[in-house]
Chains A and B, each alone.
Chain A
Amino acid sequence: MLESELHDLSDDADYAASQQQGSASMMLGSDSAKQSSPRDGAEIVFQKDNVAIHPTQFASERISGRLKLIKQSSSLFMTWIPYKGHNSEARLSDKDRSLYTIRAVPFTDIRSIRRHNPALGWQYIIVVLSSGLAHPPLYFYSGGVKEFLATIKQHVLLVRSAEDANIFLVNDFQNTLQRTLSSLELPRAVPLACGPSDMSVDESILNENQERADNGVNSGSLSVTQFHGRPRHKAHDPARDLSIQVLEKFSLVTKFARETTSQLFGENHSNGFSANERRTHIQANLDHSKNSSNVVENTSEKSPVALDSHEFDNLSLIWGKPRQPPLGSEEWIIFLDSEGRVTDSEALRKRVFYGGLDHELRNEVWGLLLGYYPYESTYAEREFLKSVKKLEYENIKNQWQSISSAQAKRFTKFRERKGLIEKDVVRTDRSLAFYEGDDNPNINILRDILLTYSFYNFDLGYCQGMSDLLSPILFVMDDESEAFWCFVALMERLGPNFNRDQNGMHSQLFALSKLVELLDSPLHNYFKQRDCLNYFFCFRWILIQFKREFEYEKTMRLWEVLWTHYPSEHLHLYVCVAILKRYRGKIMGEVMDFDTLLKFINELSGHIDLDATLRDAEALCICAGENGAARIPPGTPPSLPVDDGSFYVQQDDEVL
């Protein structure tokens, strides 16, 4: 596809891949004229090998790559692509690699470059974007920082900061917004990302935190208090929100970079802080998101520039992969062997994750995604299974159909269940053509499937919300038995949502609170302070997989993406975090209490941008990595329950 087209433009496939993704990061640029990819007439004006980052504190663990400056028409771009398979450490995953890759960042998006010349070790630079984001330090293991800066200077305006001779302000005068941005005071984001050779700046952060710590319990809740204290309009400044958002996300990355730097070059410089003190400080802050947001709040208070909200949307995540068009029938065939087996289910899941499915493919693919049909089944086997299952369905259905009215009189539970289901199917998606109108036969099919399910799984029975989950499945499968079995497969995953005691829901809400604590501790502290930690305002989102939050087509898209279990089987929780993070500024800025928050979240229905949310959710999930996975207690749906009896007991009485 695209890739072959790109190949002749560059010698390495990584570069080509990055270009493909680069078009998205370029769209981040505020200059819409530059949305075209640099591949036409692109010229490499600088190239340096052995430029590396250190994702962990171990000096040996480094990702090496190639740094390039690319000129296209009048714009300059920077890329840093890690080598494939050349990592010194096999432990570094593809995830890491793509996480750190710098994909064609236009210089209009770069605010400054900071050079570091440590006494021991290699020179490195830190690139700070106009959004306040900083990339991890890039170490020039083969030298060349000077040359790098000199090349930039030939193409864009590079001004040495008056305050610090090692800071180079980047300016591209084609763009007025950028001009304004880069004329601003250097953000405090720089010290956050910088190494130990700048302890003077770090010190000021420490002092700042010290001051705050004097006023309250912990820096996290303090930043919230501070938030309240500020004039209202400040809270709506999208630029401010943005920098917090991005920086927080980024801070998880920088955390490693920073620890690396300390480790690499030791702490025994002649600054006031010993290595130990410094570590304690880092420990005391627990995680950098608290720290970073404090820092950013200060920065942006000084920033008079507000990006418009459109830009804010585009910019919200720098490494979120662009969404793809849905998988269509032609491409679908490629995933199948001649007999209809899915040859590489992982690749299929990945493809569906990034783009979803064309509607006409859903009927064929949903059963596979849900695990009703095995990926390795052939066309013939699926046909066979279908007919076997149809008989099985009819048998179960017959169990309740054969209950006579006389028998039903003595079978209260059955009567109640049936009554409840009948009441609910007429209140499910009736505005859709498929279910609209009196005596619509599809309503009866909904009822029959739900009633049959309540016999198939008598213990779980029927619970409200199930009809919402079944409705799109019946719509897509358009066959009673097939819809039933797909629904059964979905309920294998989501059944605990409908436990009478709500423990499946509570464990997910609990896991959600843990993820927000990890990924946005100021927001977490805010919820804590406001007595909102039960996350009941996300109840509907989770119970029926956002069915009421999006229009029908979008819901189906989201579901198939979630069902891939591609980056995580708990992606739905990251979707929750992504949405909350999108509105965190408003939530905290307007000091919403539980009632207001609940109403606000309810009213978001129909206004959530699905693609952007999925991008954010993916990035958050990658960003959180194992830390995130560790916050989700074993057995949290849709994971299968653990059997040792010790599962997700909510020892934490914060929730519930």
Chain B
Amino acid sequence: MSYAYLFKYIIIGDTGVGKSCLLLQFTDKRFQPVHDLTIGVEFGARMITIDNKPIKLQIWDTAGQESFRSITRSYYRGAAGALLVYDITRRETFNHLASWLEDARQHANANMTIMLIGNKCDLAHRRAVSTEEGEQFAKEHGLIFMEASAKTAQNVEEAFIKTAATIYKKIQDGVFDVSNESYGIKVGYGGIPGPSGGRDGPSAAAGGCCS
């Protein structure tokens, strides 16, 4: 399928916070309690539309276990967006956010858009991290923030799309040189080049059309 842009996303965060479930909810629109823990990385993809333009999200769902980090770090390279996930019912997953951020800052490109997600908000009765704490952390570190539930699908769609919209805005503002793929953005055929110019888009001059 043709797209105007392709964005590479990574999903990071402690093991068991629900990264794979968020991905499955987003790509397949279902909560899948029967699935395997992630070893290395799994891939997902979905088309979305922003500003009437088709955008393909290529999503890398990484393994959260600490000892896999030396491997999973190598997946950060060239990601345009990251979903940093913690589990609102497990305090330690929130406490580890700083070290995840540090990894991201070190191994991903500086302009990567990061969305902080407090997952499992359906389990409000077991909440161990308040919404305000999440908001506060996001604010301090310049992240977008949402609480979500992979189980009920609450805010899942929004989290992925809001991240894409932010990246898209950065392109419009000329923050990225989209011809440089290390930013995790590819310009597709039939796509619209950003202000800094598209790499390959013969129909670029045709305006907003995305056929």
A: residues with CB less than 8 A from B are: 420, 423-424, 427-431, 436, 463-465, 467-468, 498-502, 505, 534, 536, 539-540, 543-544, 548, 594-595, 598-599, 602-603
For B63, what are the chain A residues with a Cβ–Cβ distance below 8 Å? 464
Interchain Cβ contacts within 8 Å, total number:
66
Contact B67 A502 (CB under 8 A): yes
Known: A464-B15, A536-B74. A548 touches B39 (CB 8 A): yes
In the bound assembly, the distance between CA atoms of A501 and B70 in angstroms comes to 8
Partner of B40, one of A429, A436, A498, A539: A539
B112 to chain A, nearest CB (A): 15
Contact A599 B43 (CB under 8 A): yes
Binary interface encoding of chain B residues 7-51 relative to chain A, with 1 for a CB under 8 A from any of its CBs, else 0: 010000001100000000000000000111101111100000000
For A463, what are the chain B residues with a Cβ–Cβ distance below 8 Å? 65, 67
Contact B78 A595 (CB under 8 A): yes
Known: A463-B65, A595-B78, A602-B43. A420 touches B15 (CB 8 A): yes
Contact B74 A534 (CB under 8 A): yes
* Smallest Cβ-Cβ distance to B42: which chain A residue: A602
For B43, what are the chain A residues with a Cβ–Cβ distance below 8 Å? 599, 602-603
Partner of A502, one of B15, B40, B70, B75: B70
In the bound assembly, the distance between CA atoms of A499 and B70 in angstroms comes to 12
In the bound assembly, the distance between CA atoms of A429 and B39 in angstroms comes to 13
Most buried by B among A423, A464, A501: A464
For A595, what are the chain B residues with a Cβ–Cβ distance below 8 Å? 8, 77-78
Contact A544 B36 (CB under 8 A): no
Binary interface encoding of chain B residues 47-84 relative to chain A, with 1 for a CB under 8 A from any of its CBs, else 0: 00000000000000001010110110011011000000
Looking at chain B's contact residues, is the secondary structure mostly helix, strand, loop, or mixed?
loop
B46 to chain A, nearest CB (A): 15
For A603, what are the chain B residues with a Cβ–Cβ distance below 8 Å? 43
Partner of B41, one of A427, A431, A602: A602
In the bound assembly, the distance between CA atoms of A543 and B36 in angstroms comes to 15
In the bound assembly, the distance between CA atoms of A429 and B37 in angstroms comes to 10
Contact A543 B39 (CB under 8 A): yes
For B35, what are the chain A residues with a Cβ–Cβ distance below 8 Å? 427, 430
* Smallest Cβ-Cβ distance to A467: which chain B residue: B37
In the bound assembly, the distance between CA atoms of A505 and B69 in angstroms comes to 13
Contact A536 B36 (CB under 8 A): no
B: residues with CB less than 8 A from A are: 8, 15-16, 34-37, 39-43, 63, 65, 67-68, 70-71, 74-75, 77-78
* Smallest Cβ-Cβ distance to B34: which chain A residue: A430
For A539, what are the chain B residues with a Cβ–Cβ distance below 8 Å? 39-40, 71
A194 to chain B, nearest CB (A): 45
20 A–B pairs (Cβ distance < 8 Å), ordered by A: A423-B15, A423-B37, A424-B37, A427-B35, A430-B34, A430-B36, A431-B34, A463-B67, A464-B68, A468-B39, A501-B67, A502-B67, A502-B68, A534-B74, A539-B39, A539-B40, A539-B71, A543-B40, A544-B39, A548-B36
* Smallest Cβ-Cβ distance to B37: which chain A residue: A427
A159 to chain B, nearest CB (A): 51
Partner of A427, one of B36, B71, B74: B36
In the bound assembly, the distance between CA atoms of A602 and B43 in angstroms comes to 8
**Those 3 A-B pairs whose CB atoms lie nearest each other, nearest first:** A427-B37, A430-B34, A540-B40
* Smallest Cβ-Cβ distance to B78: which chain A residue: A595
In the bound assembly, the distance between CA atoms of A303 and B74 in angstroms comes to 40
In the bound assembly, the distance between CA atoms of A159 and B106 in angstroms comes to 67
Contact B40 A464 (CB under 8 A): no
* Smallest Cβ-Cβ distance to B65: which chain A residue: A464
In the bound assembly, the distance between CA atoms of A38 and B7 in angstroms comes to 59
* Smallest Cβ-Cβ distance to B184: which chain A residue: A595
A653 to chain B, nearest CB (A): 15
Most buried by A among B8, B35, B36, B63: B36
In the bound assembly, the distance between CA atoms of A391 and B37 in angstroms comes to 32
For B71, what are the chain A residues with a Cβ–Cβ distance below 8 Å? 502, 505, 536, 539
B38 to chain A, nearest CB (A): 8
For A544, what are the chain B residues with a Cβ–Cβ distance below 8 Å? 39
* Smallest Cβ-Cβ distance to B66: which chain A residue: A500
Most buried by B among A540, A543, A548, A595: A595
In the bound assembly, the distance between CA atoms of A427 and B43 in angstroms comes to 18
In the bound assembly, the distance between CA atoms of A492 and B77 in angstroms comes to 35
